Structure 1
Amino acid sequence: MGANPVSIKRGPCGVSLVRSHDHWAGRFAAMACPCDVLIEGGPQAQAKRMVDAIAECAWRIERKFSRYRPGSVVHYINDTAGTVVTVDDETANLLDFAATLTNLSQGRFDITSGTLRRAWTFDGGDRVPTQEQIDALLPLVGWHAVQWTRPVLRLRPGMQIDLGGIGKEYAVDAAAAIANTVAPGVSCLVNFGGDVAVVNARSDGQPWRVGIEKPDRLGTPAHVVQLYRGGIATSGDSRRFVLSGGQRYSHILDARTGWPVRNAPHSVTVTAETCTQAGSVTTLAMLQGENADAFLKSSGMDYWLQ
């Protein structure tokens, strides 16, 4: 079937929607990444409602949780560090989840480690901070120093939180749930910058095909995963790194030391029941460094290392 362009104007960027063979394809931008929505068949009006709702969901979560937006919850928490803040249930759920990941990783993952970005800039350049620069920031890193008794939060003065390590996967799952509310039973794939969720199996029994790109050849798939439902996520250093003296430094930092994890794979991809679950496992695996493969084997999940 030929392409049938449709424009949906919402938010700062707008949404495109086209018919492609046996499905609808929507696209918009959110959370500093391209976002794609694939919808199995059905009328155009239904596809418009679904893509519209998914885009609004992504933009809402970005507005609420981006540390870069002055009106966001995270920006407010960071700006008022040292004082008591009472948060809503959605924010509290994310903080509880982040605390769980910190415990599971034995402190390697920590949402207060965003402060270390003052020393590290993972833009493909060659600037590596000194140990003295990192040591100056480490007193501001550590969930153990945060006072958190749901729903009351208090950071030490100078501390910050960053939900970027869990926010995109959460947004994918939230968007998939909304799609199913708008059109119950319709198969839909939500892809936010490589983090994917599929809600409902396709009526023809065929899977959605998701490519895992090669870290050294971006845009070229190394593997194609057949996904009927559930989530898939990838963590890696293909786009964010420092290269200095022949050594590549990943953007995935060990919050305990302030330094990138050593000997980690270039990328880890995992499938799971949800995108949030898949993303959590990929992050925890990357933080294991050279033990990532053993960690993933023990998880019992399907995974791909590169």
Structure 2
Amino acid sequence: MEIYKIPFRAMACHCEVVIAMQSKDDAHAIAQKAIAEVQRIETKYSRYREDSIVSCINAAAGREAVTCDDETWSLLKYADSLYQVSDGLFDITSGVLRRVWNFKVPQIPAGQDLEQVLELIGWGGVRLEEQRIQLPKAGMEIDFGGFGKEYASDRAASLISHQGVQHGYVNLGGDIRVIGPKPDGQAWMMGIQDPRKKGALTATIPMLAGGLATSGDYERYFEVNGQRYCHVLNPRSGQPVSHWRSVSVLAPLAVVAGNCTTIAMLKETDGLAYLESTGMRYLAIDNEGRMHSDSHSESR
């Protein structure tokens, strides 16, 4: 049995389907189905496409409710549950902050501009009834960027598994879902990027199954007067978080791992207690470079 790696690009990142099979043709055929599923999800939920369901919901903000299909409704209900368990920190209406934060330009937004955008954030005011969603204020938006890649990774891996694949994984820009171990039973070794040394690893985590995700302050950021401003933004203050350099979590699903990392980043100094409460395996690096992990984590 050979291991085949099929690279592709989606969701603005480098992606890869890895499958162990006897036949190269079969491996590539199954991988193409997984890639098509990722592309379907990207097309359906991209805020950059005017015909996506997300854009339709946003366009109706302040005017009318939008009826959702079953998949979209389940994702909205999931977003609602994340809002509740994070005490309002995981808020899919907070994407409007990108109107004042541009991480390609080292510029801190003016206080007045930030205040105007903060008025458009508030999942608690969104109406979810009878499979319909209504954003109460014109200018409000939802954005599935907080869990879209992880959801797609899980969906693609599930599709591959249902095709009979027992060994392999899907990696969407670091959001990983492992289907099963290598053909010889050994774990796949997944590297965790060093948040301060590009191209270097801070740890290697063995995975037999499940999901792995990492959030950090090194993906999109700028520095002003020696202070780092990263793209993970608190929906209440509109300010970048600053306590964690990176948080990685292992969970049964990639989407769960990703949500845990984001919520931990947003909780800042309370992030460690939150990670412990989840019961998940984790590896976190704070703003002073200290490494924190659960008692079961192994790093090499």
Please give the TM-score of this superposition, normalised by the length of structure 1: 0.89
Quick one: which amino acid aligns to residue 179 of structure 2?
V
Code of the aligned partner of 2:221: F
For residue 264 of structure 1, what is the aligned residue in structure 2?
243
- In the alignment, the residues of structure 2 paired with residue 72 and residue 217 of structure 1 have an alpha-carbon distance, to the nearest angstrom, of 37
Correspondent of 2:265 among 286, 293, 303: 286
- SS at the partner of 1:140? coil
Query: Is this contact kept in 2: 1:128–1:242, CA < 8 A?
Result: no
> Does the alignment pair 1:187 with 2:167?
yes
Runs of at least 5 residues in structure 1 that lack an aligned partner in the other structure:
1-20
Q: Does 1:48 align with 2:28?
A: yes
What pairs up with 1:154-233 in 2 under 5 angstroms? 154-155=134-135, 156-182=137-163, 184-233=164-213
Q: Which amino acid aligns with 2:265?
A: M
1:96 matched to which residue of 2? 77
Match of 1:269, SS state, is strand
1:185 to partner: Cα distance: 4.2
Matched residue SS, 1:259: coil
SS in 2 for 1:189: strand
Deviates more, 1:243-252 or 1:172-181: 243-252
Structure 1 residue 147, shift from structure 2 partner: 1.2
Give how far 1:69 is off.
Answer: 1.1
Alignment match, 1:299: 278
Corresponding residue SS for 1:217: coil
Which of 119, 128, 153 pairs up with 1:148?
Answer: 128
C-alpha deviation, 1:239, in angstroms: 1.9
Report the Cα distance in structure 2 between the residues aligned to 1:176 and 1:152, rounded to whole angstroms.
29
- How many correspondences in the alignment? 283
Q: Is the 8 A contact 1:172 1:191 kept in 2?
A: yes
Give 1:237 deviation, angstroms.
1.6
The 8 Å contact of residues 242 and 248 in structure 1, kept in 2 or not, is answered as yes
Structure 1 match to 2:111: 131
Partners in 1 of 2:56 and 2:68 — Cα distance? 11
Residue number in structure 2 paired with 1:60? 40
- Quote the Cα distance in structure 2 between the aligned partners of 1:58 and 1:139: 33
Taking a change above 3 Å as real, the CA distance of residues 96 and 277 of structure 1, as seen in their structure-2 partners, is same
SS of match in other structure, 2:229: strand
C-alpha distance in 2 between matches for 1:235 and 1:161 = 20
1:24 aligned partner:
4
Work out the CA distance in 2 between the residues paired with 1:233 and 1:23: 23
Q: How big is each residue's C-alpha offset from its partner over 1:9-44, in whole Å with a ceiling of 9 and x where there is no partner?
A: xxxxxxxxxxxx941000000000011111123211
Instruction: Name the residue aligned to 2:297.
Output: none
Alignment partner of 1:276 is 2:279: no
Asked whether the 8 Å contact 2:151–2:255 carries over to 1, the reply is: yes
Taking a change above 3 Å as real, the CA distance of residues 150 and 216 of structure 1, as seen in their structure-2 partners, is farther
Deviations 1:203-259 (A, max 9, x none): 311111111011112222111111000000001121211311211112111111211
**Hey, what does 1:69 align to over in structure 2?**
49
Residue 85 (str. 1) matches residue 47 (str. 2): no
Distance (Å, rounded) in 2 between the aligned partners of 1:141 and 1:161: 9
CA displacement, residues 44-77 of structure 1 (integer Å, 9 cap, x when unaligned): 1210122101110110000000101111111111
Contact kept? 1:78, 1:161, Cα under 8 Å = yes
Displacement over 3 Å in runs of 4+: none
Kindly provide the CA deviation profile for residues 84-117 of structure 1, in whole angstroms up to 9, marking residues without a partner as x. Answer: 1001011011111111111111111111111111
| Secondary structure, aligned partner of 2:79 | helix
Q: TM (normalized to structure 2)? A: 0.91
User: Quick check: 2:103–2:222 contact (8 Å CA) kept in 1?
Assistant: yes
Q: Which amino acid counterpart does residue 235 of structure 1 have in structure 2?
A: S
Q: Alignment RMSD, CA only?
A: 1.4
